[in-house]
Amino acid sequence: MKATKRVRLGLGVTAVVSSLALSACGGGDSGGDSGDDSGEDPIVVGISLPLTGDFSEPGKGVQRGYEAWAKIVNDEGGLLGRQVELKILDDQSNADRVVADYEQLLGNDSVDLVFGPFSTRLVVPSARVAEEYGMLFVEPAGAAPEVFEQGFENLFYAAPAVADDHYNHLADYIIAMPEGERPKTVAYAAMDDPFAQGTAYGLKDKLEAGGLKTVVDEVYPPNTTDFGSIAAKIASSKADMVVGGSQYQDAVNLIVALQQLQYQPKLAAFSTAPTNPEFPEAIGAKTEGILAPTGYTEKAPYESNTEFVEKYTEQFGNPPGEDEANAYTTGQVVAAAVEAAGCAEQGDCQQELIDWLRGNEVETVVGPLSWDEQGRPQGAHMIQQYVDGEVQIVLPEETKEAEFIFPKPSW
């Protein structure tokens, strides 16, 4: 990579608030009176998100993050002195639909910029469309290895680390434990999804290399609701540790099934699910000791994060989570490039945006970000754990808010 130049970007840049009219079945336009008296056309950002279907829960979180970014940017005066307008379509968690959406946004609607969708399954096909149009493509939720193996030259992931590296701090901690004290056996259950499997198997590879034995390795379809047979295999194995490569509802269903069998691991880790505010109630408030990787905490002291948390909470009534923060970061990254290049439209401008991001570092709500030539961020995720009923950072040492719990109390 080129030498990086640090750029501090607060919350964004400039524009006047425009209202968003979103259709639940797809086809939503931004509209209404924007209040813009500048005479400038708005900068239109095209986005496709899974607002219905398998990924609707995190998809709506990403939507809120994008909307928070647009509102804060607009309230502060705009991007290049122009209002920002979001045009959001519902891809229904479907890869064919997401391709059609970005074709419509770029070809028919001629949007100026595009932001990525949620889920590796949707990021890869949509990034191909963006590449065909020569567009910068910054995305908030495609962290699986395959995203960065496609040869995309226009893609950047707006988070601290790729999926394989999410659990690095946890793996290092476990392997460093005295051999007689650390877990010896691990059961893995992962959704058939590149991100979910990437997080689980990234940890699996590191733990196996450190001498921990895999006793269960199950992959299940995204629409799985009955986890009875998988839970029975895990319970029968008496694994010291269980790892779920999960989204949200599948993790809840698996944990409930394990609870019903009275299986008690010494340690439990689930990708993304524990960050959801509904998670504790969904599993009967027995969360103590459950782990998850996270690229974001609302307590992070970064300058732009302080304002983000305050204004997001005003807008939506509760603090942002990781999905919202990564979406907001996507906006920050694109805005930094736009301000630096002084343009935001299809055509030659897009290569200027891409080239600028290749050689610069951007300050965001998840910390400073820079990327390799494949668009991989050059960082690591923190490890959070339920401690005394609250989600707190326990790893790495320099950012921890509480001590690591092991063994995990009963659920």
Q: Where exactly are the structural domains of the chain?
A: 5-161+298-369, 164-294+382-399
CB-CB contact of 100 with 34 (8 Å):
no
Residue pair 348/380 in contact by the 8 Å Cβ criterion: no
Q: Looking at 238-302, list the stretches that DSSP marks H as alpha helix, in order from N- to C-terminal side.
A: 249-260, 279-282
Q: Could you tell me whether strands 390-395 and 382-387 are parallel, antiparallel, or unpaired per DSSP bridges? A: antiparallel
Angle at 161 between CA 157 and CA 166, to 5 degrees: 135
CATH 3.40.50.2300 fits 164-294+382-399, yes or no: yes
SS (H, E, C) 162-173: CHHHCCHHHHHH
| Amino acid in position 374 | Q
The answer to whether 160 and 367 have CB atoms below 8 angstroms apart is yes
Higher pLDDT, 399 or 185: 185
- Looking up tokens 């790729």 gives 162
Q: Can you identify the CATH homologous superfamily of domain 5-161+298-369?
A: Response regulator (3.40.50.2300)
CA distance 285 to 289: 12
| pLDDT tens-place string over residues 291-306 | 999 999 898 888 899 9
Read off the pLDDT of residues 305-336 as tens digits, 9 standing for 90 and up.
999 999 999 999 999 999 999 999 999 999 99
Contacts with 60 (C-beta within 8 Å, 6 or more apart), sequence order: 49, 51
Average pLDDT value for the chain: 90
Could you give the CA distance from residue 76 to residue 326 in angstroms, rounded to a whole number? 20
Question: Residue 175 is which amino acid?
Answer: I
The answer to whether the 5-161+298-369 and 164-294+382-399 domains have the same CATH topology is yes
Q: What is the pTM of this model?
A: 0.74
85-101: burial string, b at 16+ Cβ within 10 Å, e else: bbbbbbbbbbbebbbbb
Q: Residues near 207 by Cβ (< 8 Å), separated by ≥ 6?
A: 171, 174, 175, 186
- Strand-pairing partners, residue 292, are 384
Mean local confidence (pLDDT), 161-182:
94
